[in-house]
Structure 1
Amino acid sequence: MSYAIIGFGKIGQALAHAFARKNIDVTVASRRPPEALAPQARAIGPKVVARSLRDALEADTVILAVPFGEHREVAKILPSWDGKMVIDAMNLFPGPDEPDGLPGSAVVAKAFTGAKLVKGFNHLGAATLATDPIVAGGHRVVFLSADDEDAIAPVAALAKQLGFTPVKLGKLNEGGALVHARGRTWGPLIFQDLFKKEQ
Structure 2
Amino acid sequence: MSIGIIGAGALGSNVALLLAKNGISATIANSRGPESLAGLVEELGPSIKAGTVEAAASADIVVVALRWTDLEKALAGLPTWNGRIVIDGTNAVEFLDPDSPDAKDPNNPLAAYGIKAIDLGGKHSSEVFRKFVPGAHIVKAFNHLDVNVLGDPAASGAQRVLFYSGDDAGAKAEVRKLLEQTGYFPVDLGVLDVGGPLASLPFGALAAINFVRI
TM-score by length of 1: 0.90
Match of residue 3 from structure 1: 3
Structure 2 residue identity aligned to 1:90: T
d(CA) in 2 for partners of 1:185, 1:125:
15
Cα distance change of structure 1 residues 98 and 153 upon mapping to structure 2, 3 Å threshold: farther
Structure 2 residue identity aligned to 1:175: G
TM alignment of 1:39-78, pairs within 5 A:
39-78=39-78
d(CA) in 1 for partners of 2:66, 2:32:
12
Higher mean Cα deviation, 142-151 or 158-167? 142-151
Say which of 156, 159, 179 aligns to 1:159.
Answer: 179
Asked whether the equivalents of residues 103 and 172 of structure 1 are also in contact (C-alpha less than 8 Å), the reply is no
d(CA) in 1 for partners of 2:85, 2:30:
18
Within the alignment, does 1:140 sit opposite 2:160 as a pair?
yes
TM alignment of 1:45-194, pairs within 5 A:
45-94=45-94, 95-96=116-117, 99-130=120-151, 132-182=152-202, 187-188=207-208, 191-194=209-212
* The structure with more radius of gyration: 2
Asked whether the equivalents of residues 4 and 55 of structure 2 are also in contact (C-alpha less than 8 Å), the reply is no
Higher mean Cα deviation, 44-53 or 152-161? 44-53
Cα distance change of structure 1 residues 98 and 155 upon mapping to structure 2, 3 Å threshold: farther
Asked whether the equivalents of residues 97 and 181 of structure 1 are also in contact (C-alpha less than 8 Å), the reply is no
Q: Could you tell me how far 1:178 is from its partner in structure 2?
A: 0.8
Structure 2 residue identity aligned to 1:161: Q
d(CA) in 2 for partners of 1:192, 1:51:
32
Q: Aligned with 1:4: secondary structure?
A: strand
Match of residue 25 from structure 2: 25
d(CA) in 2 for partners of 1:77, 1:164:
33
Specify every segment of 5 or more residues in structure 1 that has no aligned partner in the other structure, as ranges: none
TM-score by length of 2: 0.84
Match of residue 16 from structure 1: 16
Asked whether the equivalents of residues 141 and 193 of structure 1 are also in contact (C-alpha less than 8 Å), the reply is yes
CA RMSD of aligned residues (A): 1.9
Q: Aligned with 2:166: secondary structure?
A: coil
d(CA) in 2 for partners of 1:187, 1:7:
21
Cα distance change of structure 1 residues 184 and 36 upon mapping to structure 2, 3 Å threshold: farther
Q: Could you tell me how far 1:185 is from its partner in structure 2?
A: 8.8
Specify every segment of 5 or more residues in structure 2 that has no aligned partner in the other structure, as ranges: 95-115
